[in-house]
Chains A and B, each alone.
Chain A
Amino acid sequence: MQREETTPPNKTAPDVFNNRRAQVEAERCLYCFDAPCTSACPVHIDIPAFIAMIRSGNAPGAAWLVRNANALAGTCGRICPSEVYCQPACTRAKQDAPVLIRELHLYATRSERAREFHTVTSPRTGKRVAVLGAGPAGLGCAVELSKLGHHVDLYNDGPPGGVPLKSIPPFRLPEEDLIHDTGILGRFFTAHDGTIDAPMFGGITGNHDAVFVAVGLGRDRPLGIPGEELESVFPVLEFLETAKKRPHTLSIGSRVIVVGGGNVSLDAAATARRLGAAEVTLLYRRGEQQMLVWSAELGEARRLGVEFRFHAKPFEIVGRGRVEGVRCRTMHLSAENDDSGRPVPVEVPGSDFLLPADSVVVAIGQDVRAEWLTGLGRTKKGFISVDGNFQSSMSGVFAGGDAVSGEGTVVRSLAQGKQAAHAIHEYIMRKG
């Protein structure tokens, strides 16, 4: 296939509207009552109300409404997928096209910069809750618990921010937006920086009224095939984290194969192109329809010249020291579906082929990394198992976010953190 030699654009994060553009877009909002967009938003931002505030010229009021519901307001303004949640629910779409809610959300949060964020909190309860992990779920829970009047100790290894900080590429999420968000949140909790382990976990459960575990995933799932130990094979988290922090130390060569069919694999492919790889191929064992990706990101990867090899699975990575190629086998989709409701891929005998490559990024999913979590019941897939109130198998220990539900959006984890905070509040207030 002929490849276009194009320079990838610097960023794909949405642009911030200017005042005029925001006014025009805000005018399109119908100001629905009990609005479907608000119901569809996992954190239930009162969308028509904040858009009406933009319309009236009350941007600080709009910013407050957004941030009060969404602790990572600036971050979500950049990376919330527009194809699920609020925008598809927009009533205006039945007339012509949905209101560009995310862009208005971003506009509102950006125009707050000059102001402090004040919030109304309940009277102090004297209760203490420990939150483990400062990603979206942990932050969402900590902020909500603090608003409910509880003291929150937030334990995290390193600065707060979780996945958005560590591995969401800067072209999707400008770091300043995340840092502005987490900067505002500091006043809601006491932060403790350090490694979390079993003895520490024991101590924490002993001197808090409840614990919320939001440690995320963090362990890359290996392919489990020969050659995975070669020097230029990168687990995707390591790849994305290094690309963000020390891109010059990554030696990926000119031909990169990314294995996987999710949004993280698209991030990796786009990152590889931006790092200068001339040929980036995404290898996925099922078809395009079965990919668990946002179509906007898929389109973006295509625009960047990422090539797709569907219905193909690697079974050996070959090379001496460094990767030289990947042996693959063609797959066909059987009539049978797996747990995810997608057809099971089956190997086609005698269909092997070799794809030359200088490096491989493995992006086939992640598992919970925290080994010390031995006391908590797990699901069949290895995630922490919880009931409808985010209560784990251990009394007083709640859990949420990716460690419970697997990889998801930032706003979903944030919403789980908020919901869990209300469950925790009920639990500790009932306990007396």
Chain B
Amino acid sequence: MKSEQYGSAGPGPVRDLSYELLGIQIENPFILAAGPSTDDIDMVRRAFSMGWAGAVLKTTSVEGTRVDLAYPMMSSFNHDGKLLFGMGNIDLISAHHIDRVESTVRTLKTEFPGKLVAASIMAGKKEDWQSLVVRLENAGADLIECSFSCPQGNIGEDPGKMLAQSVAATEITARWVKEAARRIPVSIKITPQVTDIVDVAQAVQRSGADALTASNSVQALMGIDIYSFVPNPPLGGKSTYSGLTGPAIKPMTLRTIAEIARHVTIPVLGTGGASSWRDAVEFMSVGARCVQFCTLVMHHGFRVIDDLRSGLSNYMDDMGFSSPLDIVGKALPHLAVHDDLPRRRVRSMIDESRCIGCEVCYVACRDGGHAAIDRRESRIPVVNTERCVGCGLCPHVCPEACIALVGVD
């Protein structure tokens, strides 16, 4: 191609981002999550050669498992003109059974010994879970991830419910898997949609599993065509709930990871809504040891790895960090329960030199705050210091980011 005349420039100079994860040396924290991008060996080969540190192959199952896909499976939650702010899918596990995935693992480990090759599995019965683990371990997989949380479809006896929504079932199943894995670590991929994520995380820890992958897509209804009343994605007049991923779920994932990291000691592999190196840093700062990506790659391709590596590298230079592990958990000491938050008086202050006079803060405060911003002839609003309680709404509506919260002595 013409644009590749001088070769793709790649990310430019990137510092060493390698470290050890669950006893495995990885090149950087960026791993492909189980999904469409890891269902085909050529896709994974391309991703590896472009700089991805590892991949979790799309969830596989024992031979004979019926994978009854329905199309179309993708839908988009567009917000303010942004495509795929959230992505919905009604995809199922891979149509490739364990026999094919075994061989994929073997080939990838031969071709890319330095990359993390993980396999994701899903089963119903104990012997199926265990045979999948044994076969993948023998094939040379570095890590097994167990999908206890695929929100679409069900394989097992309890349709409509995810395994990880039952604390007891999670613990028992995780134990089966851990028992079968002799040499390689096992991570349990959980769902954020439970009453108490801590109960589930502690059950995983009790089972002896090595790590948690947090978290899977969020079951959601992607939208309704208001003229036909058929929800998205439409399949012949019918639809169903999707698994929501992408930027829309990032804050939920952050909370899930943080909550797990605060209560269990086994490592968390972060995934769910990260779409830049900054998001990855945030995930790691609340306890993730690596970050998995799927929706970002499905949107823009494997090439996004260049900015992930370059951005993280430049950030670490700025911060004086020597390893990505230096970031892990940095935000956790700053998290507290509401009762323990400092009660400090603050109020808004508008930087008049930068204000552009849109008066959006005025109307937001009048109708959604404490009517503590007054209008003026100049269109430059002024904060009424008597009425402002410092709720912090106005800085977030200001298109020029010229409102700050300042302490009141």
CB within 8 Å of B: which residues of A?
20, 31, 33-35, 38-39, 44, 46, 49, 52-53, 56-58, 60-61, 64-65, 68-69, 118-120, 418, 422
Say yes or no: A56-B277 contact (C-beta < 8 A), given A61-B307, A120-B13: yes
Q: Are A58 and B314 in contact (CB under 8 A)?
A: yes
Q: Is B311 an interface residue (CB 8 A)?
A: yes
- Contacting residue for B307 out of A49, A68, A422, CB 8 A: A49
| A–B complex contacts, Cβ < 8 Å, 12 sampled | A38-B3, A39-B2, A44-B2, A49-B307, A53-B307, A53-B311, A56-B307, A58-B310, A61-B307, A61-B314, A64-B12, A119-B13
B residues 1-22 in Cβ contact with A at 8 Å: 1-3, 5-6, 8-9, 11-13
Within 306-340 of B, Cβ neighbours of A (below 8 Å) are at 306-307, 310-311, 314-315
**C-alpha spacing A35/B1, complex, angstroms:** 10
Question: Nearest B residue to A69 by beta-carbon distance?
Answer: B9
Q: Is the CB of B306 within 8 A of A49?
A: yes
Residues of A near B311 (CB, < 8 A) are 53, 56-58, 61
Q: How far is the CB of A65 from chain B (nearest CB, A)?
A: 6
Q: Is the CB of A52 within 8 A of B9?
A: no
Whether B13 lies near A64 (C-beta < 8 A) is yes
Q: A39-B2, A53-B310 are in contact. Are A61 and B300 (CB under 8 A)?
A: no
**Closest partner residue, chain A, to B304 (CB atom):** A52
| Closest B residue to A45 using CB positions | B9
A120 to B9, CA, bound (A): 10
Do the beta carbons of A20 and B400 come within 8 Å of each other? yes
Give which listed residue, B11, B278, B304, B401, contacts A61 with CB less than 8 A.
B11
Does B276 belong to the interface (CB within 8 Å)? yes
Q: Smallest Cβ distance from B155 to chain A, in angstroms? A: 36
| CB of A156 to closest CB in B, whole Å | 25
Q: How far is the CA of A64 from the CA of B8 in the complex (A)?
A: 13
B residues in contact with A44, CB < 8 Å: 2-3, 5-6
Q: Is B301 engaged at the interface, CB distance under 8 Å to the other chain?
A: yes
Instruction: Decide: B9 and A46 in contact? CB cutoff 8 A.
Output: yes
Give chain A residues whose Cβ lies under 8 Å from the Cβ of B276.
56-57
Q: How far is the CB of A42 from chain B (nearest CB, A)?
A: 11
8 Å CB contact of A68 from B2, B5, B12, B315: B12
Apart from the given pairs A49-B307, A56-B307, 18 other A-B contacts in the complex at a CB distance below 8 Å: A33-B301, A34-B1, A35-B3, A44-B5, A46-B3, A49-B306, A53-B307, A57-B276, A57-B311, A58-B315, A60-B314, A61-B12, A61-B314, A64-B12, A65-B9, A68-B9, A69-B9, A119-B12
Interface presence of B161 (CB below 8 A): no
Q: For residue B6, which residues in chain A have a CB less than 8 angstroms away from its CB? A: 44, 69, 418, 422
Classify the secondary structure of A's interface with B: helix
* Cα separation A52 to B1 with both chains bound (whole Å): 21
Contacting residues, chain A, for B306 (C-beta < 8 A): 49, 61
Q: Are B300 and A58 in contact (CB under 8 A)?
A: no
Assembled-state Cα–Cα distance A58/B318 (Å): 11
Instruction: Decide if B303 is an interface residue (CB 8 Å cutoff).
Output: yes
A-B complex: 9 closest residue pairs judged by Cβ atoms: A58-B311, A61-B310, A64-B12, A56-B276, A38-B3, A60-B314, A118-B13, A39-B2, A53-B307
- Bound state CA distance, A35 and B300, in angstroms? 13
- Nearest-Cβ distance from residue A204 to partner chain B, whole angstroms: 27
* B277 adjacent to A58 (CB under 8 Å): yes
Q: How far is the CA of A19 from the CA of B385 in the complex (A)?
A: 30
Residues of B within 8 A of A33 (CB): 301
Q: Chain A residues near B5: list those with CB within 8 A.
A: 44
Chain B nearest CB: distance from A71 CB in Å?
13
In the complex where A46-B3, A118-B13 touch, is A56 in contact with B301 (Cβ < 8 A)?
A: no
Bound together, the chains give a CA A34 to CA B277 distance in angstroms of 23
Q: A52-B307, A57-B311 are known contacts. Are A39 and B3 too (CB-CB below 8 A)? A: yes
Distance of A60 Cα from B15 Cα, bound (Å): 13
Measured CA separation A39–B276 after assembly (Å): 26
Could you tell me the distance between the alpha carbons of A82 and B12 in the complex, rounded to whole angstroms?
26
Chain A residues near B400 (CB-CB < 8 A): 20
Q: How far is A58 from B5 in the complex, measured between Cα atoms in Å?
A: 25
Given A20-B401, A39-B2, answer yes or no on A31-B300 (Cβ-Cβ < 8 Å): yes
| B306–chain A nearest beta-carbon distance, Å | 6
Whether the Cβ atoms of B9 and A58 lie closer than 8 Å is no
A58 cross-chain contacts in B, Cβ below 8 A: 277, 307, 310-311, 314-315
Q: Are B13 and A49 in contact (CB under 8 A)?
A: no
Query: Closest residue of chain A to B83, judged by CB?
Result: A30
> Which residue of the partner chain A has the closest CB to B275?
A56
Residues of B within 8 A of A68 (CB): 9, 12
The distance in angstroms between the C-alpha atoms of A264 and B8, with both chains bound, is 35
> Which residues of chain A have C-beta atoms less than 8 A from B278's C-beta?
56-57
A-chain residues with CB within 8 Å of residue B310 when the two chains form the complex: 53, 58, 60-61, 64
Cα–Cα distance between A38 and B9 once the two chains are bound (Å)? 12
A49 to B276, CA, bound (A): 13
Bitwise, B189-226 to A at CB < 8 A (1) or not (0) is 00000000000000000000000000000000000000
**Which residues does chain B contribute within 8 Å of A57, judged by CB atoms?**
276, 278, 311
The residues of A that contact B314 with a CB separation of less than 8 Å are 58, 60-61
* Interfacial chain B residues near A120, Cβ < 8 Å: 12-13
Complex CA–CA separation, A65 to B3 (angstroms):
14
Q: Are the C-beta atoms of A46 and B8 separated by less than 8 Å?
A: yes
